[in-house]
Structure 1
């Protein structure tokens, strides 16, 4: 499952973020423990703990002492807002710069977006 080029803990964190974004994990849902995660995916428990710690720092998960990790209220909105901002700055701006280099005008871009949105 975790075979991408980035460190496994980042892949785990991204996997959990996607589950929150797509609604698989809802606010208040219990997330499997680091030990369960490590056993299920055959990884070092410290790797899973590092991913969970990252998500706690981001406000996506919270820890209840003695009970485990849970999805934070508002985690989906938080992730969406961060991803929306990154979408515009990291992706769309680069596409617009490339379009400008290729001589693709605003009207042509808007027409293409409208056609794709209608599909």
Structure 2
């Protein structure tokens, strides 16, 4: 992953989202130890405090938990929590934006649905 240092999204948020993707993809499973802030800092060439802030964000959301002296680990419900968060925040927001844009362009529901089906069919392994 390459961090977007020119974007509006803070780097620590990008780090947290990257770890979330790793969990969703199964690279980190419940009770697996995740990278330390120093490992993340080395991997992404960032300040360890920035990496730590991303990890703390995930601890605050109970996606990760701390074991004193051992590091941070993936919580049992991390996968479900991330999935739920992304469906209810990210995905719903994107859908709302698409629906609003379609309305501005006078694209009907049927045409929009066809576009969604086509997009789903075009992705690898899509169930579209």
Given the two structures, how large is their TM-score scaled by the length of structure 2?
A: 0.81
Please, which runs of 5 or more residues in structure 2 have no aligned partner?
123-128
> Following the alignment from structure 1 to structure 2, what is the Cα–Cα distance between the partners of residues 15 and 114?
27
Please, which runs of 5 or more residues in structure 1 have no aligned partner?
none
Query: How big is the alpha-carbon RMSD for the aligned residues of Structure 1 and Structure 2?
Result: 1.7
Offset from partner CA, 1:84-118 (integer Å, 9 cap, x none) = 11211x11111111111111111222233334434
Secondary structure in structure 2 of the residue aligned to 1:62: strand
Query: Structure 1 residues 74 and 111 mapped into 2: Cα distance closer, same or farther (>3 Å)?
Result: same
Offset from partner CA, 1:34-79 (integer Å, 9 cap, x none) = 2232234332221121111111001111001111100111111111
> Following the alignment from structure 1 to structure 2, what is the Cα–Cα distance between the partners of residues 84 and 36?
30
Per chain length, whose mean CA-contact separation is higher, i.e. which structure has more relative contact order (CA < 8 Å, sep 6+)?
1
Aligned: 1:13 with 2:21: no
Higher share in helix:
1
Shift of 1:2: 2.4
Secondary structure in structure 2 of the residue aligned to 1:30: coil
User: Which 4+ stretches in 1 moved above 6 angstroms?
Assistant: none
How many residues in Structure 1 have an aligned counterpart in Structure 2? 118
Aligned: 1:106 with 2:109: yes
Structure 2 equivalent of residue 2 of structure 1: 3
Match of 1:53 among 56, 65, 69: 56
Secondary structure in structure 2 of the residue aligned to 1:93: helix
Given the two structures, how large is their TM-score scaled by the length of structure 1?
A: 0.86
